[in-house]
Structure formats: structure tokens, C-alpha cells
Amino acid sequence: MMELNTQRMEELKRRYKYFLVFVIGAFLLILCQLWNLQIIKGNEYRRLSENNRIRIREKPAIRGMLVDRNGNILAHNRPCYEVYLIAEDIKGDQELIQRIEALLKLPQGELRDKLNDRKRRVPFRPIKIKSDIDWEELALLEFNKVHIPGLILDVKFRRAYNYGDLASHLLGYLGELSEDELKRERSSSYRLGAMVGKFGVECQWEDDLRGKDGGEQIEVDALGREIKPLKRIEPFPGNNVVLTIDLDLQKAAEEAFEGKNGVLIAMNPNTGYLLAMLSKPSFNPEIFAKNISFEEWKSLMEDPNHPLQNKGIQGLYPPGSVFKIITAIAALESKVITPNTQFSCSGTFNYGNREFRCWKDGGHGVLSLHRAIVESCDIYFYQVGLKVGVDRIAHYANLFGLGKKTGIRLPYEKAGLVPTSSWKKKFLGVPWYSGETLSLAVGQGYLAVTPIQLLVLISAIANGGKIYLPQVVERVEDMSRNTLKTYPPIEVGRINVSEETLHIIQDALKGAVNEPGGTGGACALKDIKVAGKTGTAQVVRISRYFRRGDMNRLPHQLRDHAWFVAYAPFENPEIAVVVLVEHGGYGGAAAAPIAKKVIEKYFNLKQERCFKLVQKR
Amino acid sequence: MMIDRRLFAHFDWRILGLTLAIAIMGLLNLYSITSNIEQGGTPIYTKQILWLFIGLVIMVFVAFIEYRLYSDFAYIIYTLSILFLIILLAYGMVTSGAQRWFKIGGLSIQPSEFVKITFIITMAKIFQQPPQKGGYSLKDLPLPFFLLALPVVMILKQPDLGTAVILVLVFFSILLFIKIRWSSLLVILLGGTSLIPLLWNFLKDYQKQRVITFLNPDLDPLGAGYHLIQSKIAVGSGGLIGKGFMKGTQCKLGFLPEQHTDFIFSAFSEEWGLLGSIFLITLYTFLIIYGLRISIQSKDRFGAIISFGVVSMLFWHTFINMAMVLGILPVVGVPLPFFSYGGSFLISTMIGIGLLINVSMRRYLF
């Protein structure tokens, strides 16, 4: 065997020679290039390295604006001046340092410390002294510029939101690209420290808004003075995003919501375009554009009212009596009741060993479906629910889009939950109790929905069964207002429910607002017929035992959430609204008046604009 | 395990001496360019000294295990190293960011570096049976290609182009070394080139853009192009004798990117000039020549292929690193053996040296 091996080894030897020749050739190539760089071009490179230095000056692209449907600017970029100093040029002149501190109103000693911090800075590199100075300071600095060597003023653009915290959750905010994000493949074209959209439309439409950053290589001398630009790439500004939001309506909504926490979303039920969207408490997105301090960030994050959450798509709540719409449709469609089926309500209902109550003490007496919806009788729907059963209710809830994301193009949307008997078996390991069907029938229990889901539901009722994708952006335009992309309405589904059933529900919803005894009476308008449904979502079970009007005795964080969904005009719907007032108590009292203000404003605006148009002609 | 006293008599001091010479030059260079950078914690060169000692201990350990044992365990250690890559990839998916390192305590370990070694051992095991007359043909190659593709794909995902390129080059070096039929080689080359346009179509726009700037850095004057020109200025301004120890301005002023890892040769060249560079290249050349001699004198094919694999790995690392900082090749991110900062890389190259010494010591033992 040895002999054989030796023989084989001989065979290998020839190829060693080839490899060695290749290695030496490759290293000779390296030596040639070294000779070329160090000897032939050595002097030139030495000059470049001594006089140097080639620096990069970044020219970030100007971010696109956010504009409402009527062209009002919601987010834009404002110039922001930054002051830099080159420490070497000051040469430790204490008097001068103090003068600059006084000019810029800096705390005493801060500037000196910054300039003396030799360890952390690179020689001759300008040090940022103050950013975002005001006009007065700018004027003073410009005036004194000749007396301050090494002073550099730089202008940058900073995101500004014209209306403070208006629609802040929808617009979103910017933040510095983190190092982790930078490592990700998709972010490779960003530079460290770039400001990118982190939330809302700013995040979702980042690719359209950001534009293309530019910059140039410039040759500077030893003092950092520019000698000449070498290569440059022009920045290309980002595109403007036109929202579906109506600024005036949004303003009215914000005003109506003053001092309360919760959600309001308004939508055109025939297109799915959102007309207003707010979530309270809100935040001012501008604080993220400048470097947010840790304390500010912490207080926002730890606020028990979750100001950073867009509750319209991220908040999960039981829908309360709004859900009776689904229970009623399920019952009618599966023919377990007719519109004339009557049940009686005495105020309490015994099932199993538990007593279930109606919200109204003493009960509603004997009523049929129409009045049961109008007066939102719980006990009527307990009995309907028992007849329909959990899984059929769940089927119709799913049909209307509950339990899954609506698909709205905003980050972090939640799906919610529609319980079924098999779901409970699978996830909780116990069978469904029919007592739980009672809770489900009136929108309590495991059920969890987002406000936007209820808005899509009420819109589908209004428009005859069409589920539209809720959208917040109408189109994307370039700088000169040429349309680049449009987002036409998208019908994502049609509800397979008979027209008759829909009419019964629509009539009942009109009754809830306009008939005597209707729970949504607070939303009735003079000239326009509104249809709507109230809801009260339990936060804790005990609230059920508090009488109407007694809610105020309960601690605020235990009070029920107030719901109201509505659309108008009844005959030919143009606007659908969902209102959720967190811990607001009863839907009819807390949420319906807010919806009224917004709907009223919508029609006033319509009239005003129509009038103006006529006047112009 | 038998440790023969004769082993010590045949211990290859030349290889160890050359390695240490280069490593000590590397440490001095690292000290020179990083000592002025104030960073929290242990200075970079202190960490590198620590890594070098750990590397030496592991090297001795690797050298004294009878190397035919590696043949027996080849698939196991290969699988283990692949497993680490998989865990890394899965972990990266969970944290939604590709990663190259494991962070254990304060240390980061880069599994892809060790795959190079386990891959070489596995190839040596597969090809230790001599081929039919005329060399290996295509039907012998599906398994080796699969064993290559597995780590390469995962390493590309990290994304670490440099290590993937090295693996492929080492593989083809071994293929040529063990003799493969010309017809088979032709088929592989044709197949490989015809795959390129196909792959190109699979890339997304921004990925294409990246490849293009990678091939022509001038298109990205603010990123890759800037790095390259600064690297050339550093090397060029070194001239014949260099600016001197601790006197390089390009890296001191922060113009050089990744000056202590991929671009360390430019920093060295700036301070030691053409003469210093020639000296360093000579040391590498001798290391390669001695390594090849070990391979030639090896008592069996397994030893010959292992040592050849290690030599080719050292060569490709050295050549590609130098060529890229000098602007001959695109910048792929390949470190310079015993010079660039990095614990995993240093240890894996020390393991390679351990394997060379191992084969060398046992050439007279049967």
C-alpha cells in the first residue's frame, strides 16, 4: 500500500509546481500595484494625504410632504440651523468661548468642556455646538461671524407638523435609523443616523417619501477649508403623499374629543377612504424629529393611556351592543327568528344558575326585533343568541370582517378575536358553555374588535353589503404635483346576506337614533337622517350592577367604554363614523354626541364648499 | 491517543516561527493604529494578544492529535459546524436581522470561520481515495458540491460575501489539486457561467445596484468609492520607506474604513512603505512554500489534501485581502491572516497551522 501511495503522490507533485507558479504570479501582481501606488504615484498620494483631506459632505434628500385631500399641508420640512466650531481655530481663547456661550445662551462651561474633550474628537473636525437655533440667534451669529474663527453654520431640514398633534397616529413620526436596522438588507442604502419613518403613514410610505440622498466628495485643506469638489451626486427629493383625510373634519373631530381618551374614525362608506382618524391621547410627532430625550420617551412609553398606540387599529375592545347587529343578522339569515318574533324582558333573565340583567331596570316588556335594536334590549338578544348558537354568530361576524385584520396600510394593525366553540376547545381546553353565548350575543366575553373593524362593519350595512379596504392615502405625487400612483377604492368582499335582512337592520338603526326611546337619540340631526348603534363595553363585570347614572361612582379606570357607530344620510350614505370613548360610560350619552358633531360638520362643510363654488362662478 | 516522543523531534519550528513572526508584526501594527482611539473596555490589541494565546494553545492541541482521527470524525465536525450556522440563521430570523456572530458573554464567535477548516477536512476525507485513471469525473462530485453549497448559501444569507468566496476558491483549488478530468472541469465552468444570468434575474433592484457598485466602486463615490480612494491614498502616501511606526495619518484621522480589520494592510503599507510590504509578502510566500512542502512530503493523500487545503486558504485570504485594498479586486471583506483583528478568524487560522504541523510531524511515522 505504501508503494501505491508513493506512486500516487508522485502524480500530485506536478500540480504543486503549477500552484506555486500561480501564487508567485499573484504576489508579483500585488507588488506591481504597490510599486505603482507608492513609487510612481507616490508623490501625488503623499500630497493628497498631507493637504488632504477628501471628505464627504452629505446632502440628504428633502422628504416628501404629507397633504390632506384638499391640498392642506400637514407635514413638511423646515430649515433648521446648526452651529459648528473647529476647536483648533479657537485656540483656547477663554474670553471668546464665554462670548459664544452668551450668544447662544449655552450653560456656562459646556462649550469649554466640549472643546477640551480631546479624546473623543478628531482633530480639525467641526464640533456641533447647538442645533436648531432661532432666527434671533442666527442673526447675531451672522453679524459676529468675522470675529469668531472656525465658526460654521449649516442648514439642515427637519420634519415639521403644521398642526401639532392633530392626527398624529395617522401621520406617524420619524426616528433615527438604529444600527440594527442599518444592518438589515433592505436598509442598505441608508446611512447611519438617517431619519426614517417609524410609525403611521411616515413609516408605511417611507419608500415614496424619502427620495434619494446625495452628497459630494470634497477636497479640503488641513484647516478643513474646502478646496474643490471632486465627485457629487445630486439629492433627489421625495414624493408627496396625498391623504384621504379632510383637515377641517379632522379638526372638528379633535375639538369634539377634547379632554377624552379614545378613538374616532370617519370613512366614506362607498370608497373606504378615511375622512378623519384620531386616537387619544395623542403626541406631538415633532418631538421625535429632534432628538427626543430619554425622559420624554419614557413618559410616553409608560403612560397608562398608551399615547403612542393608534387605538383605531391597535386597540382591542369588546364591541358591546354594537355587536347586536351581527347577532340579529345571524338570527334572521338562519331563520331562527322573523322580524315579528317577540320576546319579553323583565329586567332579569335566569339562565343556568346565573342571573343575567338588562341594562334597563324593570325591563322593556314584550318587544320585537325592531324595538329590541332601537332600545338595545339585552334580554331580547340573550334569547336570540341561544337560538342561533355561538358558531353561527361567529360565522356572520367573520363575514363582516371581525377577527381578522382589515388590511389597512398602516403598521401594527391587530386582528382581534371572534370566539367559536372549536376555538375555545383548542386554546382553553374546555368546551363552550351556552351561558357564554349570552355574553357573546350582546358583544361581551372573549370577543375583541378594533374600532376600524366596526367602522368597516357599519359601512357595509350602509352601502348594502360591500366590504371596502379602509385606505388613508389617495395618491402619491411628485414635486410638481404630477400623480405617480393612485390608490383606487378596493372592494375586498361582499356580504352574502339577503337585501331584506339588511333593510330590517338599516331601519332599526335609523330608529335607534330617530325614534323615541332610541338609545342613539343624542346623534339625531334636524335635516339629515342618521342611522346608528350605541354600545357599552364592559371593562369589569361589576359595572353591570351599577344603575344608569351611577356610573360616576365607579373609579374612572373601571368605567365602561362607550361606543357609537353611525352613518348618514340614511337614504344615500356618504359618511360612516365610529366613536369609542374609553371609560366614557354609556355609549348613547358619551359617544353619540361626539359622532353628531362630526357628522354635522361634514354636512356643513359640504354646504359651505358648494356655496363657495357657486359664488366663484 | 499516542504521543510519540519522536513527534517532538520532528516538530515543525519553521512554520511556527514564520506564523509567530507575522502575528507579532500584526500585533505591533494593530497597536500602532488603534492605540490612539479611546474606547471603553479592553484595548483592541490586548484582546488580540489574548486571542493569539488561545489560538496557540488550540494549535498545539490540534497538532498532537493523530490526524487520521480527523478523517474518522470528519462528517461529525462538519455537521456540527453547519449546525452552528443553522442556529445562527434561525436566531437571526427571530431577531429579524441577519447576523454573523454569536455573542457569548463579552465574546463574539463567528461560526463561518470554523466552517472553512471543517470543510477542508471533509474534502480531504472524501478525496483520500485516489481517482480512477484520468482523474475524478462529474459523477464523483455531487456530494462535494452539496457539502460546499450548504454552508455557502447560509453564509451568503448572513451576509458575508468574503467567507463564501473563500470557501468556493478553496474548493476549486482542491479540485484542481486532486486532479479532475478536463472534460468535467469544462462542464463545471460552463455550467457555472451559464447560471450567472439566471441568478441575476432573481435579484431585486437594490441588490443588483449593490452588485454593480461592488464591481465598479466609482459609481458610489460616497460609499465604496470613498473607501477605496482613501485606502489608495494611505498606501500611496507610504512611499518607499513609509511614514514610520505610529505616524500614519490616514488611519489616525479616521479616513480609513475598518482600518483594523479588512483595511489593515493599507494602514501597514502607509507606515512601513514598499519595503515593509515586500518584507511582509515575502514572509507569507515562505509560509506558503513551507506549507506546500509539508503537503508534498506527507505520508498519505489525506494529509496531503488537508495541508494543501490549509495552504490554499491562507493564500486566497492573503491575496484577495491585499488585492482589494489596493484596488485590483472589488472589496469583498476578506481579512488578512494573522494581521486583521478578529478572534474567530485568528483561531481558525491557528487551527490551520496546527493541522500543517500535525501532518509535518507524522511524515516519518507509520
Output the pLDDT for position B92.
65
Nearest to B224 by CA among A231, A364, A392: A231
Burial class (CB in 10 A: 0-12, 13-18, 19+), B293: middle
Q: B299 contacts in A (CB within 8 Å)? A: 5
Q: Using an 8 Å Cβ cutoff, are B312 and B169 in contact? A: yes
pLDDT tens, position by position, B180-214 = 888 888 998 898 888 888 777 766 676 677 677 77
**Residue ranges in chain A whose pLDDT is less than 70:** 1-11, 51-55, 117-125, 178-189, 191-193, 220-227, 290-293, 540-554
Nearest to B174 by CA among B340, B267, B336, B313: B313
Output the pLDDT for position B40.
56
For chain B, state the CA radius of gyration: 21
Give the pLDDT band of residue B107 (cuts 50, 70, 90): low
Q: How far is CA A184 from CA A411, B93, B345, in A?
A: 18, 11, 23
Nearest to B34 by CA among B45, B24, B25: B45
Quick check: B315 contacting A, CB < 8 Å? yes
Of B97, B270, B326, the CB nearest to A184: B97
**C-alpha A415 chain-centroid distance:** 15
Quick check: A10 contacting B, CB < 8 Å? no
* DSSP line for A439-491: HHHTT-TT-BB-HHHHHHHHHHHHTTSEEEPPBSEEEEE-TT--EEEE----E
Output the pLDDT for position A53.
62
Burial class (CB in 10 A: 0-12, 13-18, 19+), A249: buried
Q: How far apart are CA A531 and CA A513, in angstroms?
A: 6
Output the pLDDT for position B225.
75
* Nearby residues of A585 by Cβ (< 8 Å), 6 or more positions away: A536, A551, A552, A559, A560, A562
Using the beta-carbon criterion (under 8 Å), do B222 and A217 form an inter-chain contact?
yes
Q: How far apart are CA A264 and CA A278, in angstroms?
A: 5
Which residues 91-150 of chain B have a CB within 8 Å of chain A? Answer: 96-98, 130
Quick check: B298 contacting A, CB < 8 Å? yes
What predicted TM-score, i.e. pTM, was given to this entire model?
0.66
Which residues 324-363 of chain B have a CB within 8 Å of chain A? Answer: 326-328
Q: B296 contacts in A (CB within 8 Å)? A: 9, 12-13, 16
pLDDT tens, position by position, B142-165 = 999 999 999 998 888 777 888 999
* Nearby residues of A350 by Cβ (< 8 Å), 6 or more positions away: A356
Quick check: B244 contacting A, CB < 8 Å? no
Output the pLDDT for position A118.
57
Beta strands in B145-196 (DSSP E): none
Output the pLDDT for position A129.
80
Give the pLDDT band of residue B130 (cuts 50, 70, 90): confident
Domain extent, residue B192, equals 5-364
Output the pLDDT for position A360.
82
| Mean per-residue pLDDT, B293-321 | 94
Quick check: B299 contacting A, CB < 8 Å? yes
Using the beta-carbon criterion (under 8 Å), do B222 and A29 form an inter-chain contact?
no
Quick check: A26 contacting B, CB < 8 Å? yes
pLDDT tens, position by position, A302-313 = 888 888 899 999
Which H or E run contains A148?
A: none
* Nearby residues of B139 by Cβ (< 8 Å), 6 or more positions away: none
Q: How far apart are CA B248 and CA B242, in angstroms?
A: 8
Q: A16 contacts in B (CB within 8 Å)? A: 292, 295-296
Output the pLDDT for position A306.
84
The complex's ipTM? Answer: 0.92
Answer whether the bond into residue A319 is a cis peptide, omega within 30°: no
Q: How far apart are CA B147 and CA B145, in angstroms?
A: 5
Of B38, B176, B322, the CB nearest to A120: B38
List helix spans (H) across A350-450: 369-374, 378-388, 390-399, 421-428, 434-441
Count up the domains in chain B and report the number: 1
pLDDT tens, position by position, A161-189 = 999 889 999 999 988 776 666 655 455 56
Output the pLDDT for position B96.
46
Quick check: A604 contacting B, CB < 8 Å? no
Q: Using an 8 Å Cβ cutoff, are A530 and A568 in contact? A: yes
Output the pLDDT for position A125.
65
Rounded to 10 degrees, the C-alpha dihedral A523/A524/A530/A534 comes to: 40
Quick check: B300 contacting A, CB < 8 Å? yes
| Chain A interface mutation, best of B108, B233, B279, B292, highest count of A Cβ atoms under 10 Å | B233
CA distance B278 to chain A (A): 7
Output the pLDDT for position B1.
46
Residue B3 has pLDDT above 60, yes or no: no
3-state secondary structure of B99: coil
Supply A134's cell numbers.
432661532
